[in-house]
Structure formats: structure tokens, C-alpha cells
Structure 1
Amino acid sequence: METVRFGEVLDRVKKALDSTMAFWIQHSHDEDHGGFFTCLGCDGTLYDDLKYIWLQGRQVWMYCRLYCELPRFHKPEIIDAALKGGDFILKHAQVFPPEPKCAFVTTRDGRPGSVQRTLFSEAFVVMGLSELGRATGLLHYTRDGKAVLEHVSPEGAELSGSFGRLQNPGHAMEAGWFLLLRAAQRGDSAMIHKTMSSFVLGPLESGWDEKYGGLFYFLDVDGHSPTQLEWCMKLWWPHCEALVALLTAYMHERKPELLDRFFMVFDYTMSHFPDKKHGEWFGYLDRQGQQTHDFKGGPFKGCFHVPRALYLCETMLEQLLEELGPSA
């Protein structure tokens, strides 16, 4: 008898969820400015176009969770709306001054209104964007696992033209060490192996400049000349990410070739980027490895990639030395 009752309840729950989501999908999407309307009357009529940031985060979370967990919601329009909602949050949620907080509410086009002392907006922004990251996952991992692309469709399909063929070895390797850490937490040896191949060694092999050394900034997956004029420059942050990725890979799979590749990147990096006179690193080199800019910080380079990479490498190297013991 309980089985029959459970079946009835399950059927009603599914129908209620479908009906509820159909209401929001039909009435809440702002096709002009992105994000979601939430001030909706009983029939879905919009009665106020203000956008409450905590509700934007919640709806992104809900769409992504359903997209990931329930097959009937695994639809392009669901993830596309979530991506547009996430984009609205990233563009408009944070307000300055007086402090780095999220707005409680914005206008329809994203101009900030009031700010609250509570952390509700911030909490649901983090939840929403975190779930969006899980939902989009490794959609950039394509070509039967042989390439990591910068730009794909919301469904993970490869886009046409040079825009769709674009690769950035630094981004791929940065994702690689993120994935290795996550795989280790889960004890997922298959994920570790796949990450090693596609997100660490693959980008290093395709991105390494055999003539002058160092990692290219951009590549075309089909071997055409990238349209980015700076494609062959050597930048600080891809080399930082490569150092962390390769040493992390060696920590998980003690293969000598991983250590050899780490030392290859390390030797190039430490002989080209550090400023021996004033400290820190220069950020921008030409293909031949000559410094092109003399500033240490700017719109894109700050106190992040270099110290993070050095800190993480220091921690891993200390662990390796501790394992080897005093005789090392």
C-alpha cells in the first residue's frame, strides 16, 4: 500500500515541479538585459522590473541544479538562461564604494540601488555562480578529449571560425591543477589520469615553443595563425600555472617525465621573468624572450599569480623533501 502511495506522491511532486519551472521559464527571463524578473503577478505579469541580486543568485542555482540532476531539465534553454543570469550578476552585482559588497537590488539594466548590511546577496551570488560552474563543467574539453577550447556554445559544441578554434595553454593548465586537486579529494584515479593527459601534458606539448622556449599565449587548435596579435608572446601567468600544474601532477603520479617537464618550465621561467634588481617578475616578453614592458603591475597583473604559484610550489617541494628524508 505504501508503494502505491509513494508512487502517487512522486507523480504529483514531478508535475508540481514541472508546472512551477514552466512559470518561471515563461515569464521571468529578461531577453534584453539578462538576468531574471521576479516581481510577477499571479498570471506572470510583470509589476516591477527591479532585480534583487540574492534572487538572481538563487535562480541561477536552481536552474543549474535541475540541469545537472534531472534529465528532463537538461535542455539548452535552461543552461543558456543560467549563463545569462550569471553574466548579469558578474557585471552588475558588485558595488563600489563604500565597500566591496553586492547590491541588494538593481534596476532592470543593472544600475545598483540599495546595499544591505547582511550577507544574503553575497551568499547567494556565491552559491549561484558555484553551481553554474558545476553545470558548465568541462564543456570546453572537446575534440575527443584532445583539446581545451576557450569558447564553446552553452551545450559544449565547438563554434565556427577562429573564435571557436582558440586555445590558451595557460588557462588549460590552470584548470588542470584545479581538477587534480578535486580528483584527489574524491579519490578519482580516472579523473586524475584524464586531467594529466588533456589539461596538463596536452596543453604543454602543443603550447611549448620548441624554437625559443616558453609557452605561447594563444593557439589555433587547427594550426592556423591565431588572429590575436599577441599570440606568440610569453606572459608571466601561463608559466606560473604550468609550474603549479606540473608539480601537482608529479605529486599525484611520481613519473620522472613530469618532473623533467617541471624543471624545463622552471628553468625558462626563472631565467626570463624575475627582475633581479628590484624584485618580482616582469609580465610580458616577446617570442624570443625579451622584455617588452617594464612595469610590475597593471590592469591585469597584480599580487596574485606569481606569489600564489611560488607559495604552492614551495609547499609541494617541502613535502617532497620531507618524504626523501635528511639524506637527500
Structure 2
Amino acid sequence: MEVRAVLAAWRERLGRELDAAIDFWTRHSHDLEHGGFFSCLGRDGALYDDVKYVWLQGRQVWVYARLYRTVPRFHRPDLLEAARAGGEFLLRCARVGPGSPKVAFALTRDGRPAKVQRTIYSECFCALGLDELGRAAGEPRYRREAQALLEAVVRWVREDPTELGCPVLAGTTPHEPLAVPMMLLCVAEQLGDGAKGQLGELEAWCTRRLLSHLQRDGSAVLENVSPDGMELPGCLGRQQNPGHAIEAGWFLLRYAQRQGDLALAARAIEGFMVQPFRAGWDPEHGGLFSFQDVEGLCPPQLEWSMKLWWPHAEAMVAFLMAYAHSRQPSLLHLFLQVAEYTFQRFRDPEHGEWFGYLARDGSVALTIKGGPFKGCFHVPRALYLCEEILERLLQEL
């Protein structure tokens, strides 16, 4: 089958799957009484818990607003209004207290703070969603709130982390998780829209920090490194997360493309995509492991051998983006490898959307469609981005 026919077939397949995913969330997740979205949904969309997770609220606002703004068939008033309702819920309820830049991790259905995490991720996803909502709705107030959140996060990460509430204990090993510069690079791209200036400096800083996780002469992406970019001893230092490495890879590739840096693009593809994918792919059952140990020891995470939805969604984006950049057939083959596995194993043709959690052999371990970590984000974002890339490729062929 010629390349154009393969790309066209996948464009149609991904488009239908994106429609089904959005249909699932619009039918089942909207809270018309209090605003915002439910994420704790069973296989058929039935609600099993009404806790609302702030980072998933921001993510769903981003998905709806981005689709409304950029994809003609989703330019629907109901989608924008749902995004606006989610954004207003965040503005009204997300912060843990008046004047505090910290936002909650979990809220009650009516928006009362129920849990706080000492991390930056809830704030980052609020910023993503509110900025995109401001663009889609043409209302600068949402984008101003997003900018304030980013400024707080940058202060916590680069200057003073005390507002996060994490005491520095005598025995704590200072370290930087890959997710911190990766998340900041994502938010900086969103808010800065690829522009130079203050956010351009932040993007460059994030890029340097991400590259420090590429260790062992470029053969391994380590999840945690020391603050000065060195490998750490013990399980903390040996930990690998193939999904994070691959997702960071396409963030880096996009940055390299904006900068016109072909050498960085090559490092992003080979170091952060190809090598982690080949090392993380299960040779016996297929699919990506959740965690690995760089020395081949047994990882301590109980779910290390499970196959989770989001690394596979991110790998689809990464390899299609890398193929569009370089036109190397091997990268298209990697996209097809992971896409076929993903559609075969995670997709639910009966009720729509994807299962999130598989056992090592690829059987469904949890039938839920959402929870504290899975919501309306990785699946629709990946499908949207892949469809967009395929449209461009088909126009160029």
C-alpha cells in the first residue's frame, strides 16, 4: 500500500475516533448544575464519583477551546460554552484561598477545595486551559489569569519553592523530575505562541534542563537528575518513564522547529523518541512499559509493567511529527506500530473513548474511562494533532 493511501486511511480513522471521543465527553462529563466536568466515569460513561480534579478541568477546557478555534467541524457554540463554563468554574473555585496563587488538586462537586498537591501541575494545566479559552472566546481576562499562574509557577521552580509547601528535609535527595521542565516548556509555548522575549528565554531554559536528562552518552533519558544535571544514585536516579521521554521529545521537536535548529531536532527524535521507545517496548506482548530501570533491575513501581493509554497516545504524536519533519520511513513504521497496537488494545468500539489501564498482556485491567488521572485530554489531543499532521502531509505529497 503506497504511503499516500496509508496516510489517508489513518487520517479518516483518527478523525472518526476524535469525533467519538468528544461525543463521549460531551454526553457524560458536563456538570450543568455547578459547572466544570466530571472525570470519574465508568465504561459506559456512568458517574461513579463526583470529585473534580483541577488539572483535568484545565485540560478539558483546553481541548474544547482548541478544537473550537482550529477545527472547522468543532466550531460549535455548545463546545465553546462548555469550555467557558469550565473556565469560569476554575476562576471561581480552583484557588485554595483568596489571593493565593496555589490551586487545589481536587474539589468537591460544588467547588470546595478537598486536596492540595505540593506540585506545579494543577496550576500549569489551569494556565493552558484558560489561555486557550481566552484565544477561542476572544476574552483577554482568561489569558491574564493564565499569565499570572505561569508567573507563580516559574517563581516556585526557579526562585522560591516555599509556597508549594514542601519542606526541605535533611535526608532529601535534591533532584529535578523530567516533568517539571517538560510541563513548563508546554505552557510557555502555549502562552508565548512561539514568540521571543520573556517566554522565549523560559523555553530555552526548559530545553537546557530537558537535555540534562539525556544521560549515558545520549543512550538513556532518566526521569530524575540532580539540580546540576548529573545522574543520581539509587532507584531515583535509575528510573525511566518511556512515555514521559517520548512526550518531552515532541515538545523539544516543536521548539527546535520554531528555532530552526536541525541538530536539536535530531537529538529530540533519536534521544527522546526512538531510543526510549525501543527500550520501553515490551518484546513479548507489545506496548510500552510504564516504568523501567536503566540497569535492567525490577522497578519498585507496582504498575511498572502495565500498559497505560497516555504513553501510547503521545508516541503516536511523536513519531508522526518526527516523520513529517524528516520523512524517514522508519519513523512512519514506528507510528504505525504503536498506532495499530493502541487502536487494537485501548479503543472501546462499543461505548467510545479508550480504556486507560491494561495488564502487561494487553488485557483490560480497569474498565473505567476516567478518574483522577485520565480525563478528556491525552486521547483527544493526540487524535487532533495526528489528524492535523496528516492533513498537512497529504497536502504536501
TM-score of the pair, normalised by structure 1: 0.63
* Matched residue, 2:9: none
**How many aligned residue pairs are there?**
222
Counterpart Cα distance in 1 of 2:219 and 2:365: 32
Match 1:270 to one of 343, 353, 373: 343
Counterpart Cα distance in 2 of 1:143 and 1:254: 28
Counterpart Cα distance in 2 of 1:176 and 1:123: 22
Counterpart Cα distance in 2 of 1:261 and 1:121: 39
Match 1:231 to one of 304, 307, 314: 304
Counterpart Cα distance in 2 of 1:247 and 1:196: 11
* Matched residue, 1:183: 256
- CA deviations on 1:29-70 (whole Å, 9 max, x unpaired) are xxxxxxxxxxxxxxxxxxxxxxxxxxxxxxxxxxxxxxxxxx
What is the CA-CA distance between 1:124 and the residue it aligns to?
2.5
Counterpart Cα distance in 1 of 2:255 and 2:317: 14
**What SS class does the counterpart of residue 98 from structure 1 fall into?**
helix
Larger radius of gyration: 1
Identity %: 52
* Matched residue, 1:70: none
Q: Structure 1 pair 310/96, CA: closer, same or farther in 2 (3 Å)?
A: closer
What is the CA-CA distance between 1:104 and the residue it aligns to?
3.2
What is the CA-CA distance between 1:127 and the residue it aligns to?
5.3
Counterpart Cα distance in 2 of 1:231 and 1:127: 31
- CA deviations on 1:302-323 (whole Å, 9 max, x unpaired) are 0000000000000011111222
* Matched residue, 2:92: 98
**What SS class does the counterpart of residue 215 from structure 1 fall into?**
coil
* Matched residue, 1:300: 373
Counterpart Cα distance in 1 of 2:271 and 2:154: 28
Q: Structure 1 pair 280/184, CA: closer, same or farther in 2 (3 Å)?
A: same
What is the CA-CA distance between 1:97 and the residue it aligns to?
7.8
What is the CA-CA distance between 1:269 and the residue it aligns to?
0.3
Question: Unaligned 5+ residue runs, structure 1?
Answer: 1-94, 111-116
> 1:110-259, aligned counterparts within 5 Å?
119=145, 121-122=148-149, 124-125=151-152, 128=155, 130=184, 131=202, 133=206, 136-259=209-332
Q: Which residue identity does 2:244 align to in structure 1?
A: H
What is the CA-CA distance between 1:121 and the residue it aligns to?
4.3
**What SS class does the counterpart of residue 181 from structure 1 fall into?**
helix
What is the CA-CA distance between 1:134 and the residue it aligns to?
5.5
> 1:33-112, aligned counterparts within 5 Å?
98-101=92-95, 104=99
Counterpart Cα distance in 2 of 1:170 and 1:210: 16
Q: Which has the higher mean CA deviation after the structures are superposed, 304-313 or 121-130?
A: 121-130
What is the root-mean-square deviation of aligned Cα atoms in Å? 2.5
User: More relative contact order in 1 or in 2 (CA 8 Å, sep 6+)?
Assistant: 2
Q: Structure 1 pair 190/281, CA: closer, same or farther in 2 (3 Å)?
A: same
Question: Unaligned 5+ residue runs, structure 2?
Answer: 1-88, 103-117, 119-140, 158-183, 185-201
CA contact (8 A) 2:207 2:252 kept: no
Q: Which residue identity does 1:239 align to in structure 2?
A: H
Q: Structure 1 pair 104/185, CA: closer, same or farther in 2 (3 Å)?
A: same
Counterpart Cα distance in 2 of 1:195 and 1:97: 36
**What SS class does the counterpart of residue 270 from structure 1 fall into?**
helix
Q: Which residue identity does 1:99 align to in structure 2?
A: C
What is the CA-CA distance between 1:136 and the residue it aligns to?
3.2
Does residue 315 of the first structure (1) align with residue 388 of the second (2)? yes
CA contact (8 A) 1:162 1:220 kept: yes
Counterpart Cα distance in 2 of 1:152 and 1:184: 26
Q: Which has the higher mean CA deviation after the structures are superposed, 125-134 or 313-322?
A: 125-134
CA contact (8 A) 1:250 1:259 kept: yes
